[in-house]
Structure 1
Amino acid sequence: MATKLRFLTVSQVQRLHARFVVPNAVPVQPNMLESAIHSPMNMKHYAKEEDVFQLAANLAEKIMLNHAFQDGNKRTALLAADMFLKINGFYLQKVPFAEDLNNKALANAHVAVVTKQWTAQQLGIYYKSVAAPLGPVTAEVMDYRSSALEY
């Protein structure tokens, strides 16, 4: 039986982008953002992918390559992958974009995907290697979790 997972919505990813990347920005290509957001759900349904890290990597790759925002697509991809993992019990970043080795390595991993040095599958393996189980759930994560799509 398939595991129920929570998936981010378009508005949630836009909220992350506006909060951490570019205030009040809207996607310049909203259909490309919608496509990126739905990609991990499609992957789960059609490819029967159950690995939350592979699904997070798929989400990040699509956000980066679909280039829905004028600026900050790699940063938005990292925020979205991290929040996707958080609403499903793991995390990548303790503090978004903190100046630490973990966040620098995550940024480099995203550059590797965009420059075709890594595949999304390699990114998922990397996420799995650096992710940690989510401890106490913050109010922000609870908010995202409660309004996420469950599938």
Structure 2
Amino acid sequence: MATATTKTFRFLTLAQVIKLHSSLISNAKPTQPTLLDSAIASPMNIFQLAANLSEEIMKNHAYQDGNKRIALVAADMFLKINGYKIQRKPMAHDAMNDGVADALVLVATNQWDAKKLGEYYESIAKPVQELSADRAHHYSTG
């Protein structure tokens, strides 16, 4: 299990989340920009912050489509800029991402709250360097 250390965290801006959505999902502008801005500003355990960010983005429905996906990408990017990762490759269909996608559905359907999602993120997160080492090992043995 990853453990957050005390340090200064870097947060995503509204412009960065809009750019992530544009780059990875669609070039559409948010239909509810003030709600997206609210979600981004709301996020202090790093994993709980990522979960709060995910939940707020999903539940505020800032986009017509792709709210769960951008919630995942934004949480992963937030964790990456702070030294952790919950996806090996954004938007890939693999066991790690599928598990996170399932967790987001549980939150979206009110079966989990942000606290439970934060615990889940913490249980699966890996330091960015550890994933890089895993990837290097995979390529050297493959």
TM-score in terms of structure 1 length: 0.80
User: Aligned residues: percent identity?
Assistant: 56
Equivalent residue, structure 2, for 1:139: none
| CA shift digits 1:12-46 (9 cap, x unpaired) | 00111111111x21100100000000000xxxxxx
Counterpart of 1:112 in structure 2 is: 106
How many residues were matched structurally? 126
Structure 2 residue aligned with 1:63: 57
Residues 51-98 of structure 1: per-residue CA shift (max 9 Å, x gap): 100000000000000000111000000000000000000001111121
Segments of 5+ residues of structure 1 without an aligned counterpart are: 41-48, 137-151
Q: Which runs of 5+ in 2 are unaligned?
A: 1-5, 131-142
Aligned partner of 1:142 in structure 2 is none
Query: Which of the two has higher C-alpha Rg?
Result: 2
Question: Any residues of structure 2 matched to 1:1-151 within 5 Å, and which?
Answer: 3-22=7-26, 24-40=27-43, 49=44, 51-135=45-129
What is the SS of the residue equivalent to 2:42?
A: helix
Confirm or deny: 8 A CA contact 2:91 2:97 kept in the other structure.
Answer: yes
**Does 1 or 2 have the higher relative contact order (CA < 8 Å, sep 6+)?**
1
Aligned to 2:139: none
Residue 141 of structure 1 corresponds to none
In structure 2, give the amino acid aligned to 1:13: V
In 2: Cα distance, 1:99 partner to 1:78 partner: 13
Q: Distance in 1 between matches of 2:129 and 2:61?
A: 32
How many Å separate the matches in 1 of 2:117 and 2:93? 21
Q: CA RMSD in A?
A: 1.5
User: Matched residues in 2 for 1:3 and 1:98: separation?
Assistant: 30
Moved over 2 A (4+): none
Shift of the alpha carbon at 1:3? Answer: 3.5
Counterpart secondary structure, 1:6 = coil
